[in-house]
């Protein structure tokens, strides 16, 4: 594995994470060859890699990590904001050999990320289509986007944001129920091991992307269903402020669409702009 020599150096400190530390952790994992970069601050790691991939698709995968993002993004263009140094923030980029829909690709990467967390002893579930939950609250988010270079080569850029620590004042500013790894693991150790977490998540995502590119969603289907939050429970699907369906969550189909039994029978839903919510029961 090697890092490109023309990349900006990392700035160590309260917000930064050392590129060399990520590279060492990556080698220890035996992860696939990847060009690694770490920066202290950027607007968005996904936006940075998308811009590069539009100029030229990567010959081998890229990983870009940041200590802090000024304009981190989630699904539907929502802001993803965490205090400097308190999250693992990264994106990986891979040139695809096959045509691929983003929805099932995102689900496959969710399986990989969840598996890496479970291997560390963290009991997580997956909220369709792109969130990782701890105790029913958002621990991590995944955002997949596509870029096309002048030769027509397609690159998928996958961003991951994982809350390591959430101080009370930060938690109060978040508009949805949120969780952090510090609820189940030591906060000081998490901050000290941020490079290892970035490598672990990046390697899991990269391996899932490469597996999906070869085999499609089929190997991930049953694994996603086992991890699916609220399966067998009543849920609601929203499009903006409008409820489009309510019913019992059955699972997902072979294309990654959500299967919900409504009053009118079973229906399938593509991710699109839909948001999934559990319906509280008395």
Domains and CATH numbers, the chain: 19-225 (3.30.930.10), 230-278 (2.30.30.100)
One digit per residue, the tens of pLDDT, for the chain of length 282 reads: 333 323 333 333 445 689 999 999 999 999 999 999 999 999 999 999 999 999 999 999 999 999 989 876 554 455 555 666 689 999 999 999 888 889 999 999 999 999 999 999 999 999 999 999 999 999 999 999 999 999 999 999 999 999 999 977 666 567 678 999 999 999 999 999 999 999 999 999 999 999 999 999 999 999 999 999 999 999 999 998 899 999 999 999 999 999 999 999 999 999 877 999 999 765
Residue 83 confidence (pLDDT)? 61
First CA to last CA distance, the chain: 54
Q: What are all long-range contacts of 132-138, with beta carbons under 8 Å and residues at least 24 apart? A: 132/162, 133/179, 133/229, 134/179, 134/180, 134/181, 134/183, 134/184, 135/179, 135/183, 136/177, 136/229, 136/278, 137/177, 137/178, 137/179, 138/163, 138/176, 138/177, 138/178, 138/179
Instruction: Indicate yes or no: pTM above 0.75.
Output: yes
> Any idea what the Cα angle at residue 224 is, between residues 268 and 210, rounded to 5°?
110
């Amino acid at each position: 594995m090697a890092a490109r020599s023309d990349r900006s150096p990392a700035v160590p400190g309260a917000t930064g994470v050392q590129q060399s530390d990520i590279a060492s952790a990556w080698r220890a994992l035996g992860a696939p060859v990847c060009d690694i970069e770490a920066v202290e601050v950027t607007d968005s790691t996904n936006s940075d890699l998308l811009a590069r991939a539009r100029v030229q698709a990567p010959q081998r995968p890229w990983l870009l990590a940041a200590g802090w993002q000024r304009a981190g993004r989630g699904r539907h263009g929502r802001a993803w904001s965490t205090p400097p140094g308190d999250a693992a923030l990264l994106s990986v980029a891979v040139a695809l050999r096959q045509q691929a829909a983003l929805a099932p690709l995102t689900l496959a990467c969710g399986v990989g990320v969840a598996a890496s967390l479970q291997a560390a002893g963290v009991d997580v579930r997956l909220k369709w289509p792109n969130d990782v939950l701890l105790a029913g609250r958002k621990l991590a988010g995944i955002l997949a986007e596509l870029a096309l270079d002048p030769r027509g080569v397609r690159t998928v850029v996958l961003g991951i944001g994982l809350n390591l620590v959430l101080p009370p004042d930060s938690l109060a500013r978040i508009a949805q129920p949120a969780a952090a790894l510090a609820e189940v693991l030591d906060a000081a150790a998490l901050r000290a091991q941020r490079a290892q977490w970035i490598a672990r998540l990046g390697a899991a995502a990269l391996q899932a992307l490469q597996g999906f590119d070869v085999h499609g969603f089929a190997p991930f289907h049953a694994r996603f269903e086992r991890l699916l939050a609220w399966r067998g429970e009543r849920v609601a699907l929203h499009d903006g402020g409008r409820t489009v369906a309510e019913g019992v969550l059955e699972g997902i189909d072979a294309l990654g669409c959500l299967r919900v039994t409504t009053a009118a029978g079973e229906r399938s839903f593509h991710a699109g702009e839909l948001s999934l919510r559990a319906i509280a029961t008395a």
